[in-house]
Amino acid sequence: MTKKIRNLVIIAVVAVFAVIVAANCFTIVDAGHTGVVVTLGKVNEGVLQEGMHLKAPFVQKVVKIDNRIVKLEVDTEAFSKDLQTVATTLAINYRVDTSKSYSIYKNIGADYENVLVAPAVNEVLKAITAQYTAEESVTNRALISDGLIQGLNEKLNNIGLYITDVNIINFDFSDAFITAIEEKQVAQQQLLKAETEKQTAITNAEAQAETTRIKAEAEADANNKIKASLNEDIIRSKFYEKWNGELPQAMGSDSIITSIDGGSAE
């Protein structure tokens, strides 16, 4: 009975070992990943593509590298052209070139994001931020994003890392600088309002002057037309219409000139 139990235990152990060995003979590479084969600590050239693959049990291991677009968020500080401290939060989208997965793992390791990508982001951002004043950094976010994409790709493409997009989530400045910007904006708004009011006053004055000029010209033109229409016959006719039939009298120191009945006196 004891011998039989011992045999059963041996069979069970062998079966478990066989299952473990069989399980270690296969590996599955998930979609969007590549597998880097490491044989007794040595990284093999080339990578395993998606799907199931055979490997030497206990001798080889397969490290999965994510080749999909990965998002990395980085918080960093840099100095602007006018020596303001610019605290920046960036969202970096990048991917690993499938053909270079093994070389990245071999030369950098699995933590390539913290070892390589994040420091490169800090370095390139500092170089770009130094080209703009703090205020210009806010108004040129798109240019800074484009500059980061270009600068990071120049540094990382040869290694096998590709930056696909950079989003500036936030720019933050000191309280004193923010207050100065707000005061400047208020002053600009007040100046714009004053200039608008001045221009409106000038426009209204010019319009009033033009109206007065047109009215004066119209009155002068009307008077000229009336004057031109008053000839000698019309004047005489108007005179007789208003005459009461009496002749005017004029008296001098020497004599009486005329009278109504036509007589004369000395």
Give the pLDDT confidence of 8-34 residue by residue, as tens digits: 677 777 777 666 766 678 889 999 999
Q: Can you give the pTM of this predicted structure? A: 0.60
pLDDT-above-70 percentage for the chain: 79
pLDDT tens profile 236-251: 666 666 666 665 665 5
**Alpha-carbon gap, residue 78 to 7, rounded angstroms:** 72
pLDDT tens profile 35-62: 999 999 898 888 999 998 888 888 888 9
What are the domain boundaries of the chain? 14-65, 70-173, 175-227
Pairing, β 33-39 against β 51-54: unpaired
User: 3-state SS of the chain: helix, strand, coil percent to 5?
Assistant: 50, 25, 25
pLDDT for 104 equals 93
Q: Does residue 260 surpass a pLDDT of 50?
A: no
26 or 105: which leads in pLDDT: 105
Q: CA torsion angle for 149, 154, 157, 161 (degrees, to 10)?
A: -40
pLDDT tens profile 141-191: 899 999 999 999 999 999 999 999 999 998 888 777 767 666 777 777 788
The yes/no answer on whether domain 70-173 falls in CATH 3.40.50.300 is: no
Six-digit token string for 21: 């060995």
Among the residues of the chain, which ranges form H helices?
A: 2-23, 101-107, 112, 118-129, 134-139, 141-156, 175-229, 232-242
Each residue of 225-260: b (16+ CB within 10 Å) or e?
Answer: eeeeeeeeeeeeeeeeeeeeeeeeeeeeeeeeeeee
**Alpha-carbon gap, residue 16 to 101, rounded angstroms:** 34
Lowest mean pLDDT among 17-21, 86-90, 134-138, 207-211: 17-21
Each residue of 172-187: b (16+ CB within 10 Å) or e?
Answer: ebeeebeeeeeeeeee
